[in-house]
A and B are shown apart, each in its own frame.
Chain A
Amino acid sequence: MEKTMTEDKNQVVGSEAMDGQRDKEHIREDLELSAQLGESDSWEDKLKTMVRQNKLAAFSAVILFLIFLAAVFAPVVAPYDHLAQSLTDRLQDPSAAHLLGTDELGRDVLSRIIYGARISLTIGLVPTLISMAIGTVLGLCAGFYGGKVDFIIMRLADVMLAFPSLLLAMVVMYTMGGGLINIFIALSLVNWAGTARIVRSQTLSLKEKEFVEAARSIGVKKWTIMFRHILPNCLPSLIVLFTLNIPSAILSEASLSFLGIGAQPPSASWGLMAVRGKKYLFSEPWLSIAPSAAIMIVVMAFNFLGDGLRDVLDPYLKEQ
């Protein structure tokens, strides 16, 4: 997705000068109009609109893409091995050799942050994807079948939503023990209820539409209607929701690791780095501030991107 957006950005650079002359009121009106017309715009057009109108969202996409690259190519990008200890170099101030200094075991903080991006991005993307897949299937079933199925699924969702998500994750961590893999599982299982609610409400309105009735009348199977006809129409909301759910998963991992019940040493998890640096807060503040700032940047970028995507893809989601 980042790739198409950077490509789009190149294409619209030329038209930007013209658009710059139109005042903001006009652009807003256009946006509202295109939101009303909704369906008629292609995905590409919508992303172009976002890049044009929401520079911050586009910029965030670029930043995230760069962080993603850094995470994938961490061994190449990182100046040092993130696990290599050097007790003679411990707790060094930031310098040319160590841009963000070294930690209490003499490990290069910048390298650890780069490797930590792997953990945060994986935790942000994969469990969110899994929990949203669960939520989507349950929401589709609840909305489409209605009746008892709907009742049971939605009461289950009510119970899940009643939990504060951090506490729920903590309970799961108690059961399964600490460690990144278990956070991975905990976050996959815990966060499906919000998605289920939104997909259900969209399914409820979509299943009354003519195209579903048409599909039904020619005898298309229920599952095919659900996944081929209704699901694609939920996609814009799901993409926005996905982008906005990623930061909360990243924050959950960081929080659990910060509390000492998540990632275990010597993992380069940002939350774990922050809590280990806390001991040296008053002498070497960057030890905990640098990884925390990394979390903030990634979370903020996803939030900006999510807001931007929501404005163009799904203006109605804001109401929910």
Chain B
Amino acid sequence: MILRLAFGSLLARVLTVGMTILAIALSVALFLGVEKIRTGAKASFADTISGTDLIVGARSGSVQLLLYSVFRIGNATNNMTWVSYQDIADRPEVDWIVPISLGDSHRQFRVMGTTPAFFERYKYRSGQSLAVRDGAIMSDLFDTVIGADVAATLGYDIGDPIVVAHGLASFSQHKDQPFRISGILEKTGTPVDRTVIVSLEAIEAVHVDWQSGAQVPGKSTPADVIRQMELEPQAVTAALVGVKSRLQVFGLQRSINEYAQEPLLAILPGVALQELWQIVGIAETALIAVSAMVVVTALIGMMATIFSSLNERRREMAIFRAMGARPRVVLCLLVLEAVVTAAIGAIFGLVLLYVGLFVGQPLIDSAFGLWLPIEAPTMREIWVLFGVVAAGAIVSMVPALRAYRMSVADGMIVRI
């Protein structure tokens, strides 16, 4: 019955209590949402590349090499020569090698030249392979395969022609050699979704009439002539390497890093991802801290609400005291009220999170390429909810202790 009275008292103040619950719910939803985005981002980050033992490129920093070769962020400071590439490919430890040639773009998307082996060797999300959703991979020199986001954003379909621009955000286009879309890939949640893939030879082909970054005036070799040409690249941007035995990874990395003919860099993708995440991690920690502060603010708001309700509830507490309730009962009632409020807020927050996920999932995916899975709450999230309720009980002790002292002093006679 005491419980029923406590609920009755809460219901009687439904508006203020409701506001408190709403504040707690929003803060909890924000905190859990940030947590979801953080773990989602981290997972999709780590899932970007797998099955590749080494990434090789011109010597720069490991994070930079990872950024431009895998995430297509930033640019290579230099290329590696085709000779060095061949040299590495011929080494006995090397099981497979896939070249990557970057530098051109189509609209806001990067163009990547590679070999058909890329589709077979590139793995993401613990060993998943790329799959073609529509059409097929390149068969002609001027065929291209585009990522799911490219197709969705630009509304492309199989057979559509596209023109590649020289460089990034450039106005000089390779108009003479338009490509035809031969295939569209399944969505992967990786940078591949935002990449236009052509063959390595095609990268050479569009540059046939070009010298020093500009088209030679008046020169335009017909496509059929280009098809007959020997299109061996001079250089590639980077290469993905698989070794025959995992034990040889470090030996190969070392020898590539010490390659005398050209300054090269070989990195372990996993290690470089870790380094990169350490950099991003600071922002992530700040984000968590801010959303934790929001939760704390909401709880302090609840404390303030309980404080301000004390005066109007003095009568209620005096009645309890007059009926024989100990001051301890008054204290427990207030703490209980806080726990109930915080618990309802926490549960409501969880509901808000899932509603938000259902609504926001496709939006976040299309805007940021971040796929947030909708799953049952994790142990960690349940602990967060418990933590909020416990913290609610603790902060409510402050007004509850004041009420305790007040009800000892007031006894059963209240003069207001």
Q: Do A and B bind each other?
A: no
Chain B interface (Cβ < 8 Å from any Cβ of A): none
Chain A interface (Cβ < 8 Å from any Cβ of B): none
